[in-house]
Chain A
Amino acid sequence: MVLSIDDSRPIFMQIAEQIEDDIIEGRLPEEAQVPSKNEFAAYHQINPATAAKGVNLLVDEGILYKKRGIGMFVATGAKAKLISKRQELFFEQYIVTMMREAEKLGITAEQLMSMIQRGDASK
């Protein structure tokens, strides 16, 4: 966990996103144990109930599952599920916004394509 919490959005969503990031980037492999709500609470100085809410959100989505008396674990197939969800979000959050900004600046679709290629090359 490297990201910090900001105060402008619901914290439980930020906790859920951080766990998602950790799964996508492989820091939390499938079938690995997720930190407890109290560990999240202590680490981020947040209310344990809030941390639990974030974790439970992912349980509801089938990303995490609960082993009774032991804790939370990453479900098998969670990574693929998250990636497809994030790709969908990527289009919404970045592409649509980018197109709007490009329009404002008078950047054509072709120019945009070449910019993307340039960005890809300098990566």
Chain B
Amino acid sequence: MSARDTDWDGVRLHVVTGKGGTGKTTVAASLALALAAGGRKVLLVEVEARQGIAQVFDIPPLPYEERKIAVAPGGGDVYALAIDPEEAMLEYVEMFYGMKRAGRALNKIGLVDFATTIAPGLRDVLVTGKTSEAVRRRDGSGRRVYDAVVMDAPPTGRITRFLNVTSEVAGLARIGPVKNHADLVRGVVASPETAVHFVTLLEEMPVQETLDGVKSLRAAKLPVGGIFINMVRPELLPAATIAAAMKDDFDLGELALGLKAAGLADGAADATSIAEALAEEISEHAHRTRLERREKRALAEAKVPHYELPLLADGADLTGLYELAETIRSQGAA
């Protein structure tokens, strides 16, 4: 770890969740880049077989294999892994029991299918188990292989159940190897070395889900991280204009004059009609600004650090990821 002070020093597993459509994968990818900056090695894992990481980095689909996908500013490396539950199960059987042949037999009779689809809870254990293994892994000289692991996790509505599934399984399998494995995973996921971050937009539903998610994580005694407010639009209009627009008291005449001065209107009537159309945009913008302020206040109630990431005009392409990574670092999140 560098001497740099961040809000999450000591955290080695960053779990990134968020409601669908909030840009969870993009934020997880940028966080991985930010954490790797300055010569560190970070693993970005994907758990839902959606190949979202490959899409944001614009690379071919990821296999079940850790491979380097990006270089961070100042010479760090980001590795990525798409965890396939079936492969993870076979690997698990082989690694912990040295039973390659039995693993194949289990696969043939459908146990692997059973474990990974019919009882998706077990699938969650396999996936969190594989992630925990990467967090704990050491090389020959006893050094940690990865400085940090970032998980692009399931959405907010499922996150507590997903992370908590190990204790559910532990409750089912009261003794035996499954229980031991579940306890091991729980030991990583519920430790101070883990932080669960939320990605949200300044809109009602995602904010409500974030607040609910924070509450349910706390109830399950899982470590809450920060809140990443994504796609924040710049406040372009002066505060006085927004206030006036909210009261439908906006100075159309002044706008029309400006439009004429800018050469955008043919005569006074045209200037007025364009100004009227634009006034509607201003009114909408003012309403949204008011709503966003309200949602920001609501988020503050969670009492966790929050970070603002700008809306990228051209969408989240590779350049955008680096831009977001820089923002994340400048705000002390990594």
Real complex partners, A and B? Answer: no
